[in-house]
Structure 1
Amino acid sequence: MMSPTEIAGFALGLVMVVCSIRELHWSWPLAIISSLLYFFVFKDSLLYGEAALQLVFVALALWGWWQWLRPGDDAQPTLLIQRLSRRGWAWVALASLTLWPALALLLQHFTDSDVAWGDALPTALSLVGQVLLGRKFIENWLVWLVVNLISVALFAYKGLWLTCLLYGLFALMSVWGWRAWQVRMKASS
């Protein structure tokens, strides 16, 4: 059954991603509110990795908001859409492959989660994706696509149907974000 908290998080989550795609800094305060709402949704569903992730998202959203609003030397935003280097991709792979088992083992040993490994994978990738988004790496949208597709299956397993729909829409929006940022990156070069 859908709760009012899940419905509100759903609506704010959609608006937040649209704002991110359009590079509007309002995505960050919306992310804070949506993440706080989803903390309770996931906690109540025993998805502790996802719940904890929402609290980390609050902190990362504050950081991302600051990153996006911080003026450069010429009073223009300091961050422009950019691509990851090979070294950046190596960092993404290393961080993901380190975080996933570490989070899974924590969930397995310190919670009553019935899907520790399945919960830990999108949690680990989401942390990586959020950092990439905060620094305006276009590849954040590819990471989010993977996260969203995995999450659809996880939330379907847990019977969180509205959230399942949300993450299905997020997957489509990840493709939209990738394409929109490609156009903007080409226009600014």
Structure 2
Amino acid sequence: MPTIIEVFGVITGFLCVWLAARNSIWNFPVQIVSVLLYMVVFYEAKLYADMGLQVYFLFMAIYGWYFWINRTEQDTKIKPVRRITRPILMMGLLVVVAFTILFGTFLERNTDAFYPYLDSLCAGGSLFGAFLLSRRILENWLVWLVVDVIYLYLYLSKALYLTTLLYIAYLVVAIIGYRAWKKNWENHYKK
């Protein structure tokens, strides 16, 4: 049975991703509320990598909120969408693999974590996806598609059914977000 905290986490989590897909800077304050709620949900589900990931998401929400705003003397506007570079891609993949191995091993040896390596893989992919999102890099949505598919299995295994539904919605929003951001990128760089 879902808790009230999970219900509000699902609502704010969906709203946050929907706002990000629509290029709304308001995704960041909503994300702050969502991550605070999900810290509790994941602690109770013994998904410690995901719980710790929420701390990172909290800092990335603050950082992203700041980065998205390009303050000039004339006005305030949101920075344009960019594409990933090869060095960022290679570094991101390396970090995800290293994080998965190191943190998965730590969780396996020191906690009662459920699927420590799979949880760590999802957390590592989420670290990379959140970084790309905060920097307004288009390919963040592709990272989220992969991570969200894996999370579906993990959350179904823990009977977090509302959260599973949320991640199905995240998959749809990631597709919408990718298309919208790609259009934004194309429009900006055709000028």
Q: How much does 1:59 deviate? A: 1.1
**CA deviation string 1:79-110 (max 9, x = no partner):** 31010122222112111111111121121122
Asked whether the 8 Å contact 2:69–2:76 carries over to 1, the reply is no
Q: Which residue of 2 aligns with 1:149?
A: 149
Normalising by structure 1, report the TM-score.
0.95
CA distance in 2, matches of 1:26, 1:78: 12
Q: Which residue of 1 aligns with 2:92?
A: 92
Q: Which residue of 2 aligns with 1:29?
A: 29
Asked whether the 8 Å contact 1:72–1:78 carries over to 2, the reply is no
| Gap runs ≥5 in structure 1 | none
| Gap runs ≥5 in structure 2 | none
Identity of aligned residues (%): 32
Alignment of 1:33-182 (within 5 A): 33-72=33-72, 75-77=75-77, 79-182=79-182
Q: How much does 1:115 deviate? A: 1.0
CA distance in 1, matches of 2:103, 2:61: 21
CA distance in 2, matches of 1:138, 1:57: 18
Q: Which residue of 1 aligns with 2:3?
A: 3
Paired letter, 1:171? L
Paired letter, 2:121? L
Asked whether the 8 Å contact 1:79–1:135 carries over to 2, the reply is no
- After the TM superposition, which of the residue ranges 45-54 and 93-102 deviates more from structure 2? 93-102
3-state secondary structure, aligned to 1:121: helix
Asked whether the 8 Å contact 2:80–2:184 carries over to 1, the reply is no
Paired letter, 1:122? C
Q: Which residue of 1 aligns with 2:13?
A: 13
Asked whether the 8 Å contact 2:97–2:121 carries over to 1, the reply is no
Q: How much does 1:69 deviate? A: 2.2
Runs (4 or more) in structure 1 with deviation over 2 Å come to 72-79
CA distance in 2, matches of 1:142, 1:160: 24
Instruction: Please report the RMSD computed on the Cα atoms of aligned residues, expressed in angstroms.
Output: 1.3
| Compared CA separation, residues 157 and 178, structure 1 to 2 (3 A) | same
Normalising by structure 2, report the TM-score.
0.94
CA distance in 2, matches of 1:72, 1:120: 40
